[in-house]
Amino acid sequence: MSAFVHDALPMRVVFGPGRLTDLAAEAARLDLHRLLVLSTPDQRDLAERAADLLGPLAAGVFSGARMHVPADTAAAARDHARRIGADGCVAVGGGSTIGLGKAIALDAGLPVIAVPTTYSGSEMTPIWGITEAGRKRTGRDRAVLPRTVLYDPDLTTGLPAPLSGTSGINAIAHAVEALYAPDTSPIIELFAEEGIRCLAAALPIIAVDPTDRDARSQALRGSWLCGACLGATTMSLHHKLCHVLGGTFELPHAPTHAVMLPHVAAFNLPATPTAHAALCRALDTADPAHALADLGIAVGAPCSLAELGLRDTDLPEVINQVLAQPYANPRPPTHDDLETLLSAAHTGATHLVSRPW
């Protein structure tokens, strides 16, 4: 067996349908008495419901969370928290809202309770990001880790089917890259395999019936495990490509992951037999890269970068940026490798390029 280090992240996880009603008890358990509830404008109603459930422990609602945590939004939320004397935040929503909670934790030191309503997995990671003047700064800091994560699958039944599918594949991508991460560990390998198995089983059911409660529970359980993989390991080529595509070309986060994952898997898996074997088991297939492409089709995810608005003339810049900074990957890609991989992803080629390693 290979040597490993496993550094467990200290978080309490409360999971189950209807568990939002435990919010006040969870806040009291952390000795928090004046909570600011955060959400996007779309999820204001849910934030108000959370504030009602907190009762006297709620100090206010800030519903201005936006994608990629703009610095001015973070400053406005932090000032609001200071004005009302908040001693903590409850972030109710997807990665954008949880990201806002983390930005306040980083700057003002307020503890966060996360109530995730997508499958992004941000709630399980010490990774923060703030965008200023078009550039997203990111970092890792344990101070931003939510103290408690309350998963209530009933809160996800309103997540539209297309967003559920791409958000779920975004979560699977965390686990795929954790399987071949340089700092993976036996426990993370177990989390990754089970997380992928749960999501791959649940997402096609949700695509047909977004209100299926069993499938929603299974998907959220999978996204918890996949998020824990993201929090514990170093991501590789797939996340690097998506970071450049999202950061420089403003492609949407989860759909970009859904387009890229089968192509990167086809490229990387020949170089990593252990990850390949785990994916074969999790997806019940002998060809995991094609199974991931089929999953994208089953959930109605976009198939090409062209559909997301990327021009083929943008590809050289993507390649330059990806090659400019070193990062871990089981198979170091050359310029030609990236050109082949990105051209296939751009057109949405159904024949995945899997060159022998």
Q: Which one, 132 or 312, has the nearer CB to ligand NAD?
A: 132
195 binding ligand NAD? (CB under 6 A):
no
DSSP 208-256: H-TT-HHHHHHHHHHHHHHHHHHHHS---HHHHHHHHHHHHH---HHHH
Structure tokens at 18: 């209807």
Among 27, 36, 38, 40, binds ligand NAD (CB under 6 A): 40
Rounded CA gap, 272 and 173, in Å? Answer: 15
258 binding ligand NAD? (CB under 6 A):
no
68 binding ligand NAD? (CB under 6 A):
yes
Q: Which residues, 166 to 185, sit near ligand NAD by CB under 6 A?
A: 167
94 binding ligand NAD? (CB under 6 A):
yes
- DSSP-assigned beta bridge partners for residue 15: 151
Residue 357 Cβ, how far from ligand NAD at the closest point, in Å? 29
43 binding ligand NAD? (CB under 6 A):
yes
Q: Which one, 159 or 207, has the nearer CB to ligand NAD?
A: 159
Residue type, position 24, single letter: A
Strands 35-38 and 135-140: unpaired
Q: Which one, 6 or 140, has the nearer CB to ligand NAD?
A: 140
Write out the H or E segment, with its range, that includes residue 323: helix 315-324
Point out the residue whose Cβ comes nearest to ligand NAD. 95
Looking at the chain, which runs of residues are DSSP E strands? 12-15, 35-38, 58-62, 88-93, 112-116, 127-132, 135-140, 148-151
Among 63, 73, 122, 233, binds ligand NAD (CB under 6 A): 122
Among 13, 30, 67, 315, binds ligand NAD (CB under 6 A): 67
210 binding ligand NAD? (CB under 6 A):
no
253 binding ligand NAD? (CB under 6 A):
yes
